[in-house]
A and B are shown apart, each in its own frame.
Chain A
Amino acid sequence: MREKFFLYLTDDAVFLYSESFEKLLAFKSIYEEAKDELKKLVTYAPKNHLCTLIDRSHQDVREEKLPPLLPWDRVRFLFHKKAEWISQGGYAGWQLLKEKREIYLRWVHILPNDSLMPWLLWAQSLPNPWGGIFFVSLEAGNFMENHFPRSTDYRMLFYNLPAQKPRHVIFKGSRLLLTRLSNGEEDILTSLHFLSRTHPDIHRKLQVLSLVKDVSLPFSHMTTPSDPQAFTRFLASQRRPSLIIRCLGSSKNLWLRRGGVMVYASLFLMAFIAIYQGLDFKKKAFSFLPEIEILKIQIPEHQLLLKNKNILSLRKSVEHYHQLKSHSVNPLETIVQLSILLDKHKIRLESLTWRKEKQLELELTFLMKGKAGRSLANHFESFLASCNEIFSQCEVQVLIAPFNSSSHEIFKNPLRTSYPLTHIKMICP
């Protein structure tokens, strides 16, 4: 369990208590001397937490009822409120309370010119771990919740810390109504009278918890715990204050802090995106793995089937063979066509030449028997017509016409006794 020092700050004095609320030092007004003495004592046990207790007549904790606003407008209201505190500096903190469907803003703002400021800054500058700033009046509210049911409307705690004057604090539900020094019964009655103007039923519904034995109070609904140190023990046991206040710092620091937060937030966001992307890549990569395993099994099976086979070479071979085939012509097909032509005209060839270079060339030599004069000319004309019909794609050239009767040849009479020789050439693309 951590040891603590309690720096108790009131309107006109400063006290230092030990963990067991034993008064260690007390100073009134002479703060500079007090700081030196306190520092000596506190730094003597540098591992002890230093908690600051604030208990002033001046009501540091303020509450105001918020108008019924939309959430966005409420955020804007709080933003402006905070901006106002920041512009003024000092220490500030806030929290929202909901009481009977009404929302209240509880806030504390200790201005830089407040007498508390030097103490708070000094306390935080000490090497001891910081235990937080506790407002005794607020902690009293929590303390009373252990002694009264939550349904109780008005609750008052009458207490005094060791070597302190008695004080009273009044709550309505969880709202803090008032906290004052109690020099006597009159002060409490005055407080109640003051509050009865806005809370007329306070006298009837007030429950009182008194921790001050030597002062008698005129209340019928009053409880007195058996342990008068119960409240101090409660304070000592608190780990966190009910309302946390922080130093607002300068506007330069504020912008630095905001900038830092922005940078960190950006880095955090980018880190988050990077992790998300990394996980996405990982997921995608894993999705490929089963398929890769299947492929790794299938590929060797196929490779085994194609073992010792140069497929590229085979493909080229087949391709080249087809190209060659497209280039070549079967001469027997031409001869079959030619036989049709020759049968039709009852011609017997003397010679036949079939040649295939770039083009197909066909040369025929034959004798035209039993024909003469006009009959021979007609027969030859008919033969040429048949050539054009059967070899429609080919160009027919007459190299030697029968009896040299073409216009470019010498035609002589009388006729020779031998049969007329004909030499035809056909060029097919």
Chain B
Amino acid sequence: MKALLQQHKQYLLTGVSYVIPFIACGGILIALALAYTFQCHYVDANGGPDPTQAPVFVQDMLKIGGKAFELFPAVLAGFIAYGMAGKPGLVPGFVGGFIAAMPQTINGKTASAGFLGAIIIGLIAGHVTNLLKKMPVPKIFKPVMPIIIIPILSALPVGLIMLTLNTPIATIMVDMGHVLESLQNGSQIVLALVLGAMIAFDMGGPINKAAFFFGAAMIEQKNYAIMGACAAAICTPPLGLGLATVLSRKRWTEEQRESGLAALGMGLIGITEGAIPFAAGDPFRVIPCIMFGSMVASTIAMLGHVGDHAPHGGPIVLPVVDGRIMYIIAIVAGAFTTAVAINSVKKFTEKSSSVEGVKA
């Protein structure tokens, strides 16, 4: 059972690895186009950005980004199935995912089965394809199996299943959106704390990716607050640890001070992995401190109504962030929390342990 879950996690991560560049391209192009529209005061009656007044190039940018986003569920489902069944999985996966991307009207709101539908149908497509591959066939039919029989026999049932699931799953997505929107301060803080802790815990590993992907998927559903909270949490572990080496040089070895500078650079471009050299040598003191810092950052960002339109974190995404001041405050506060925490922890524990940072 555990091995089976492990395997399915690997399938999902395969899909995620192929879809991340699509979300990045779509998210950033859309956000830049909207930011430009807004900055130049092309606004509609409600004060929102109105791209129809913007230059043609900006409108095109919005269209191109929108198309990259529309592909998101198809690519996700396609490569989940590819991870399970190889090349033959691509057809049912892409077709099923493309159906999941179809916009529908639910209770007057436009929504799609989106990433949730894509994950489910991708897994189904993989299993269906694997079953078909096992089908015993006479030698004479072997060549037509992969180019005619399997594509049709897999895409047809998978498509039918997705068409059936489409409205129920889209309804779940709409409800989920309602729940996220209706979260009051208390539960918002809980959500932000959990996201921050997950982001920092394994510094870019599977737990971090789960939180990150939740945020990225919510961008597609036009909820930018989740990614906003993640974005602030993503960069604080490397920034905080780098800051710690600068604030209290004598507590760190020459080598650590050097990786501290590298960590600052990585933090600025939103790569949590920059914290790993520190955590690998001293996990029991470093990981709690970076989790604490990231939780502070994500909570401030969430309460400050920070929204992030790009599936990436750190100061580098500032141009496409809503609530920039609060975003900066969240990052600075999180980084200082991490830095002060790790330096104090080192101060109080160093006397007893003289072997600092060598137990790699």
Whether chains A and B associate is no
